[in-house]
Amino acid sequence: VPEHVWRINLDTPEEAQQNLSFGAADRWWEQTDLTKLILASNKLQSLSEDVQLLPALTMLDVHDNQLTSLPSALGQLENLQKLDVSHNKLRSLPEELLQLPRLRSLLVQHNELSQLPEGLGQLLSLEELDVSNNQLTAIPTSFALLVNLVRLNLAWNQLKELPADLSAMKSLRQLDCTKNYLETVPPKLATMASLEQLYLRKNKLRSLPELPSCKLLKELHAGENQIEILNAENLKQLSSLCVLELRDNKIKAVPEEITVLQKLERLDLANNDISRLPYTLGNLPQLKFLALEGNPLRTIRRDLLQKGTQELLKYLRSKIQDDGPGPNEEPPVTAMTLPSQSKVNVHAITTLKLLEYSDKQATEIPEAVFDAVGANPVATVNFSKNQLREIPPRLVELKDSVCDVSLGFNKISSISLELCLLQKLTHLDLRNNVLTALPEEMEALKKLHTINLAFNRFKVFPSVLYHLPALENILLSNNQVGSIDPVQLKGLDKLGTLDLQNNDLLQVPPELGNCENLRSLLLEGNPFRTPRAAVLAKGTAAVLEYLRSRIPS
Specify if 416 maps to a domain. Answer: yes
What is the CB-side half-sphere exposure of residue 98 using CA atoms within 13 A? Answer: 15
Whether residues 275 and 351 fall in one domain:
no
Q: State pLDDT tens for residues 267-280.
A: 999 999 998 889 88
* Phi, psi dihedrals of residue 397, rounded to the nearest 5°: -65, -20
User: What's the confidence (pLDDT) of residue 212?
Assistant: 77
Specify if 176 maps to a domain. Answer: no
Task: Work out the burial of residue 530: count CB atoms within 10 Å of its CB; fewer than 13 is exposed, 13-18 middle, 19 or more buried.
Answer: exposed
- Residue that is last in its domain, among 266, 300, 319: 319
Whether residues 314 and 446 fall in one domain:
no
pLDDT exceeds cutoff 80 at 398: yes
Specify if 417 maps to a domain. Answer: yes
Specify if 171 maps to a domain. Answer: no
Whether residues 311 and 364 fall in one domain:
no
User: What's the confidence (pLDDT) of residue 341?
Assistant: 34
- Residue that is last in its domain, among 319, 338, 354: 319
pLDDT exceeds cutoff 90 at 415: yes
Whether residues 35 and 155 fall in one domain:
yes
Whether residues 429 and 284 fall in one domain:
no
Whether residues 74 and 113 fall in one domain:
yes
Segment among 165-169, 180-184, 285-289 with least mean pLDDT: 165-169
Specify if 334 maps to a domain. Answer: no
Answer yes or no: are the C-beta atoms of 63 and 88 closer than 8 Å.
yes
Q: In whole angstroms, give the CA distance from residue 132 to residue 121.
A: 17
User: What's the confidence (pLDDT) of residue 343?
Assistant: 61
Q: In whole angstroms, give the CA distance from residue 145 to residue 130.
A: 16
Whether residues 284 and 397 fall in one domain:
no
| Span 174-191, average pLDDT | 91
Whether residues 199 and 266 fall in one domain:
yes
Q: In whole angstroms, give the CA distance from residue 261 to residue 41.
A: 45
What is the band of 129 on the pLDDT scale with cuts at 50, 70, 90?
very high
Specify if 23 maps to a domain. Answer: no
| Domain span at 512 | 346-549
| Span 190-212, average pLDDT | 90
Specify if 336 maps to a domain. Answer: no
Q: Domain holding 61: CATH number?
A: 3.80.10.10
For the question of whether the overall pTM of this predicted structure is more than 0.75, the answer is: no
Specify if 175 maps to a domain. Answer: no
| Span 234-252, average pLDDT | 92
Q: State pLDDT tens for residues 34-90.
A: 999 999 999 999 999 999 999 999 999 999 999 999 999 999 999 999 999 999 999
- Residue that is last in its domain, among 319, 336, 355: 319
**In what side-by-side order are the strands of the sheet with 473-475?**
354-356, 380-382, 404-406, 427-429, 450-452, 473-475, 497-499, 520-522
Whether residues 202 and 77 fall in one domain:
no
What is the band of 332 on the pLDDT scale with cuts at 50, 70, 90?
very low
Whether residues 298 and 354 fall in one domain:
no
Total domains, the chain? 3
Whether residues 191 and 274 fall in one domain:
yes
Whether residues 109 and 211 fall in one domain:
no
Helix (H) / strand (E) containing 61 = strand 59-61
